[in-house]
Structure 1
Amino acid sequence: MTGTRVIVGVDGSTNSRSALTWAAHEASLRGVPLLIVHSRFRPAYDPIFAGGFYLPPVAAEGNEIDEVLRVSSEMAQQVEPELEVETTARPGPAALALLDAASEGGGLVVVGSRGLGAFGAVFLGSVSVQLAAQSPVPVVVVPAETTFSTVGPVVVGIDGSPASNVALVEAANEATRRHSPLDIVVAYTIPADPLVTSLTPSIDEFRTAFRIRAQEAAAAAAENARRVSQTLAVRAQVLEGPPAREIARAAVAASLVVVGSRGYGEFRGPVLGSVSQTILRHAKWPVLVTHSH
């Protein structure tokens, strides 16, 4: 199993089937094989608490694994008949199984926003959170019942940080593959309580300075995106407001939203930044999370 491929995690849930369909289309669009990964472990829960109380994962039966992989492979080939499809069952929890597969030649990992055992729509599944934070390659988190589309624009949120610059290039590549416009969103917020001294600028001066900085970042991002493809239609928006909220508003008709794993002001470590977490938690569209490493 060498070379770049799209990797998708399946567990037999409805959400993982949506991710599988999305991943099959994406692999076909990229012209690469699809690798379907199923973990040999599945979550256990106490039915009395309706999934709200979790027990340690238990090993799945061999027949169950074979059936999930067989059905998943058939579904992928029905979606994209010419697609090369591979399957594998990996030991260990699902997130670790997918991380291992990604480190062996993956170009993209696709996973549902939540799978078997996930409890409450307000919570993002633990597998998708861990993958989005730690994967060595970009990760797409697909909400339930999401269909693959190339009609809407690809929307990317940037702030000029190294992580957002990586997201910009990935978004430009995705938009180019889809022949879709690229919408760049630069959102900024004004400090609520700036330190007041005789030398402190007024709120209007703060707002003007932040807007100018955002406009400069948007112009530089648009120029960098056009270097990826001279035929790419690039649109840039500068918006005042919380970045996650403004990106979500700009993405109403998006086919894909791209964010960096973290940007300026967010501490480093094996966790997602606040903006990417919020986007993932409330997304109604597939979200691609890139990593600066």
Structure 2
Amino acid sequence: MDETARIVVGIDGSEGSLAALAVARQEAALLGAPVEAVMAWDHLDQPGPEPFDPHYSAEKAQAWLDAVLARAVTDEGPAVTGRAVCGHPATVLLDAGAGADLLVVGARGHGGFLGLRLGSVSHKVLHHAPCPVLVCRERAAGEVPSTDGRPVVVGADGSAPSRRAMVWAAEEAVRRGVTLVAVHGWGLPSAASGPLADPSAFSLSEAFSEAALELVTEEAARVRKEVPAVEVEVRSDGTGAAPAVLDAAEGAALVVVGSRGRGGFAGLVLGSISQQVAQHAPCPVVVVPDAD
């Protein structure tokens, strides 16, 4: 076991958080790391279905968490320790994630509105986390996302955040023994597309396509130098950045994106592309933050 590695997962007893726990343990097995399951509580938002208890305490919160983990962790996989912390869920998770290799959250927990793909806690964690964040979709009870042979997909645009994401994704692909699929999505300017576009737009499209393929090929070569064991497949897609990554995500084990790519505004922690991917990808998504 790597005693320096650490994976943190947020848990509140919901199906989404239990799915996140299962994925966190998958990642822990790959890294040889322990898992710390963190639950936030306060006196006005007590876990479990029991009636409000005016005398609720830290000891009761910890006992409830321990019971949840005892029911959820029944095999001999990576060890899980539980910690109940009084505070707002997002704040508690962000504090726990400091220094972690990975912070895992469910897309929605208790209190999430039906129809919303990403809850308020996971949304805030994605915007402010100090480490890579994995967002896990809720699945049927007991179902764990399949990883057998499925590729890791990463968005590539040549920016510094994208390059950090590519290295993280390449190392993950090697750990899993699968191919890394590097995707660069692009699109023509609006004036060069549509029914009123200039006839020369076709040659412009060819130029964009060639440049995009060259870019993603160069980025793949760059990541191979840093992670020599990785096998990389490159794709260029003219449907746009987020649609290209989401299309490649079908059948993927994991999608990885940088927190911001080209065109991101200074001061924004999470860019529009990474938000769209985190909201709509059919598989777990990892968002790799900018360097400090």
TM-score by length of 2: 0.85
Structure-2 separation of matches of 1:71 and 1:256 = 30
Partner of 1:95: 90
Please give the secondary structure, in 2, of the residue aligned with 1:166.
Answer: helix
Partner of 1:69: 65
Question: Which of 136, 139, 160 is matched with 1:142 structurally?
Answer: 136
Q: CA RMSD in A?
A: 2.5
Please give the secondary structure, in 2, of the residue aligned with 1:272.
Answer: coil
Query: Taking structure 1 as reference, are residues 189 and 42 closer, same or farther at Cα in structure 2, changes over 3 Å only?
Result: farther
Query: Taking structure 1 as reference, are residues 288 and 68 closer, same or farther at Cα in structure 2, changes over 3 Å only?
Result: farther
Structure-1 separation of matches of 2:68 and 2:208 = 49
1:145-156 alignment runs, 5 A limit: 145=139, 147-151=144-148, 152-156=150-154
How many residues align? The count is 273
Question: Which of 281, 289, 292 is matched with 2:290 structurally?
Answer: 292
Structure-2 separation of matches of 1:158 and 1:170 = 12
Question: Which of 115, 119, 123 is matched with 1:125 structurally?
Answer: 119
Please give the secondary structure, in 2, of the residue aligned with 1:250.
Answer: helix
CA contact (8 A) 2:107 2:117 kept: no
Q: Which deviates more from structure 2 when the two are superposed, residues 93-102 or residues 119-128?
A: 119-128
Structure-2 separation of matches of 1:141 and 1:82 = 21
For residues 223-273 of structure 1, give each alpha carbon's deviation from its aligned partner in whole angstroms, at most 9, with x where no partner exists.
123224433221000110121111111111100000111111121335421
Partner of 1:219: 217
Question: 1:219 Cα deviation (Å)?
Answer: 1.0
Structure-2 separation of matches of 1:126 and 1:161 = 28
Partner of 1:8: 9
Question: 1:276 Cα deviation (Å)?
Answer: 1.1
Question: 1:75 Cα deviation (Å)?
Answer: 4.8
Please give the secondary structure, in 2, of the residue aligned with 1:218.
Answer: helix
Question: 1:117 Cα deviation (Å)?
Answer: 0.3
Structure-1 separation of matches of 2:55 and 2:268 = 27
Query: Taking structure 1 as reference, are residues 287 and 59 closer, same or farther at Cα in structure 2, changes over 3 Å only?
Result: farther
For residues 158-192 of structure 1, give each alpha carbon's deviation from its aligned partner in whole angstroms, at most 9, with x where no partner exists.
11111111110011011011001111111101001
Partner of 1:175: 173
Structure with the higher fraction of residues in strand conformation: 1
Query: Which runs of structure 1 show a deviation greater than 4 angstroms over 4 or more consecutive aligned residues?
Result: 58-61
Q: Any unmatched runs of 5+ in structure 1?
A: 45-57, 195-199
Structure-2 separation of matches of 1:137 and 1:279 = 18
Structure-2 separation of matches of 1:215 and 1:68 = 53
Structure-2 separation of matches of 1:241 and 1:59 = 56
Partner of 2:50: none
Amino acid in the other structure paired with 2:162: S
Partner of 2:247: 249
Partner of 1:106: 100
Please give the secondary structure, in 2, of the residue aligned with 1:4.
Answer: coil
CA contact (8 A) 1:261 1:276 kept: yes
Question: 1:64 Cα deviation (Å)?
Answer: 5.0
Question: 1:72 Cα deviation (Å)?
Answer: 4.1
Partner of 2:27: 26
Query: Taking structure 1 as reference, are residues 64 and 240 closer, same or farther at Cα in structure 2, changes over 3 Å only?
Result: farther
Indicate whether 1:208 and 2:206 are aligned.
yes
Structure-1 separation of matches of 2:113 and 2:62 = 26
Question: 1:130 Cα deviation (Å)?
Answer: 1.1
TM-score by length of 1: 0.85
Question: 1:29 Cα deviation (Å)?
Answer: 1.2
Q: Any unmatched runs of 5+ in structure 2?
A: 46-53, 193-197
Please give the secondary structure, in 2, of the residue aligned with 1:106.
Answer: coil
Partner of 2:74: 78
Structure-2 separation of matches of 1:5 and 1:101 = 10
Question: Which of 158, 163, 167 is matched with 1:165 structurally?
Answer: 163
Structure-2 separation of matches of 1:4 and 1:222 = 27
Structure-2 separation of matches of 1:216 and 1:8 = 38
For residues 38-73 of structure 1, give each alpha carbon's deviation from its aligned partner in whole angstroms, at most 9, with x where no partner exists.
1123886xxxxxxxxxxxxx9965465224421343
Question: 1:88 Cα deviation (Å)?
Answer: 1.4
